[in-house]
Amino acid sequence: DSFAIILYMEDKYPQHPLLSQDLKKKALNLQIASIVCSSIQPLQSHAVIGSFLGTMDADESLQMVQQYIDKGFRAIEKLLVGCDSKYATGDEVQMGDVFIAPQIHAGVTRFQIDMSK
């Protein structure tokens, strides 16, 4: 589980924190990680996609996966309104960035998610 691993690393290597000491930024990063882990990443699993394929054709399955991945990204985007920084939640890489980046890559390359919306 990515979330458990990254929390372990946060405690094990405090000299390289991915969570801010600022409680609002910390909560924001944890929210982003939670949305990715519960709403975006599971839909990119071959097992989940395969279960959709059992009840619908490939195009319908892709559309459903796209819809829910897009919904997760829109939720994250709402959280980031007003965050004017180099990275998602600050000027240094934080936990949210570590979770968002691979999902954007997979969303664009595997599922043709339009990130320009």
Assess whether pLDDT exceeds 80 at residue 110.
yes
Q: Identify which of 24, 22, 27, 32 has the alpha carbon closest to the alpha carbon of residue 2.
A: 32
CA separation for the pair 21, 58 (Å, rounded): 45
pLDDT-wise least confident of 15-24, 39-48, 67-76, 100-109: 39-48
Residue tagged 């395969």 (tokens):
50
- Stated length of the chain: 117
CATH number at residue 27: 1.20.1050.10
In a domain, 116, yes or no: no
Q: Determine the pLDDT at residue 53.
A: 66
H or E, element range at 46: helix 46-53
Range of the domain at 43: 2-8+21-111
Average of per-residue pLDDT across 13-32: 96
Identity of the highest mean pLDDT range in 13-22, 55-64, 107-116 = 13-22
Nearest-5° angle of CA 65, CA 70, CA 72?
100
Q: How many domains does the chain have?
A: 1
Structure tokens at 74: 């829109």
Q: What is the pLDDT of residue 79?
A: 96
Evaluate whether residue 14 is within a structural domain.
no
Considering the entire predicted model, what is its pTM? Answer: 0.87
How far apart CA 35 and CA 19 sit, in angstroms, is 16
Q: What is the mean pLDDT of residues 97-116?
A: 92
SS3 64: helix
pLDDT tens digits, one per residue of 35-73:
999 989 887 776 677 676 677 777 888 888 888 899 999
Residue 33 located in a structural domain: yes
In a domain, 117, yes or no: no
pLDDT tens digit sequence for 78-97? 999 999 999 999 999 999 99
